[in-house]
Amino acid sequence: MSIDIKVPVLPESVADASIATWHVKVGEQVTRDQNLVDIETDKVVLEVVAPADGVLSDILDEEGATVLGEQVIAKFEEGAGAQKAQEQSAPATEKTSSNKGESVEIKVPVLPESVADATVATWHVQPGDAVSRDQNLVDIETDKVVLEVVAPADGTLSEILAQEGETVMGEQVIANFSAGAAPAKSDAPAKASSDDDSSDAENDALSPSVRRLLAEKGIDAANIKGTGKGGRITKEDVEKSLSAPSKAAAPAKEAPAAPSLAGERSEKRVPMTRLRKTIASRLLEAKNSTAMLTTFNEVNMKPIMDLRKQYQESFEKRHGIRLGFMSFYVKAVTEALKRFPEVNASLDGDDICYHNYFDVSIAVSTPRGLVTPVLRDCDTLGMAGIEGGIKELALKGRDGKLSMADMQGGNFTITNGGVFGSLLSTPIINPPQSAILGMHKIQDRPMAVNGKVEILPMMYLALSYDHRIIDGKESVGFLVTIKEMLEDPTRLLLDV
């Protein structure tokens, strides 16, 4: 059966989107909930997943094309080629099963000098599982980033030496691997493995829509039996679990009321990840060790919105990337930092260290928590360079590929809570930086202009700063400079 692949419904404030990356090609076989394509808006990247097992039969819009909400961008054939894939997988297993492989030690990667130890976060395979070369075996979590340890070759994980949650050191042996050995499994054990093991392994790869639905409804993924490929949980499975109590209404007469109430009032305890612990300690440190104060202003975003509308198409054709709001924010911040060096400084003991370079941290929300990768030398980058750098950091953050080098340094932070609908907030400083700028939701509001009321797209700005190093005069002047540059973007070109 042919199915239309459509662009997701876009938020009201987003007029159109762009095809960022096709992850599959025409004729390729895919599994249900596998990511087909990334759709990029001004603020976020949306994933469009396969509705079922099948084949992508036709791509209607190539990478870089501008598309609208619910526009058909591809054709999908449900069930096509699925049987072939199953037939091909059986002989492949038998072929590798006859090989005896040499034993290889799986070690923790070399940790940076500033990182003393790490934690085994998640094992994606279990002893006896057959894996392919470069398949992710385990996630190793440090205070700042998650490191993936992949299989050195096709083979089998023979033994796990460090369980999830254990603290490990750099280059410590955490597992043994048999290269080339992939024991064949009969149909019966395969089914058991599908029922038991795949639920844990596959739940770590839930699609974004399923994760969001589980979070909204407060449901534990462990309580849902998946019907997708390899026991993977789908949106339909979550929706069925929500309607399950109505089906159980008939036998409820025989069962006492107390157990059902107890089930609804259950609790789940999950240890904090190292990243979450680090975020918590640093935020508490910032609150307790700095004289933090926040000042506010508001910006008329109409000039920038008009400018983007006028030049969006030609900008994208020339540079191969969409013109977003963040490049304007970063440019305005960089120019303001040049004029107010105190905001670009940090305290080191009793000394004030003034930075003569402009590395801006960009707050990025990832599945594991908020991180702040650094966009370096912003004063030397044009609008296209800034947009490209931000996109690269955002994709790395989404995929868990940020390195220690991406996270270290940064003189000033920009956080954009507006992508989640925040109207106003007081962001917390990212030590040892001395200030952070919060951008918020762009919302139409009635404003007085030359004695008349006009409806304008307005956005609140919030600058939190360390009062020990930055006075009110500098903080207000810095924020007003950003406001003036955003309301008159030509200032960014003329440096006035």
Active-site residues, by number, are 467, 471
Nearest to 403 by CA among 171, 147, 172, 121: 147
SS (H, E, C) the chain: CEEEEECCCCCCCCCCEEEEEECCCCCCEECCCCEEEEEECCCCEEEEECCCCEEEEEECCCCCCEECCCCEEEEEEECCCHHHHHHHHHHHHHHHHCCCCCEEEEECCCCCCCCCCEEEEEECCCCCCEECCCCEEEEEECCCCEEEEECCCCEEEEEECCCCCCEECCCCEEEEEEECCCCCCCHHHHHHHHHHHHHHHHHCCCCHHHHHHHHHHCCCHHHCCCCCHHHCCCHHHHHHHHHHHHHCCCHHHCCCHHHHHHHHCCCCCCCCCHHHHHHHHHHHHHHHHCCEEEEEEEEECHHHHHHHHHHHHHHHHHHCCCCCCHHHHHHHHHHHHHHCCCCCEEEECCEEEECCCCCEEECEEECCEEECCEECCHHHCCHHHHHHHHHHHHHHHHHCCCCHHHHCCCCEEEEEHHHHCCCCCCCCCCCCCCEEEEECCCEEEEEEECCEEEEEEEEEEEEEEECCCCCHHHHHHHHHHHHHHHHCCHHHHHCC
Give the Cα separation of 79 and 2 in Å (integer).
10
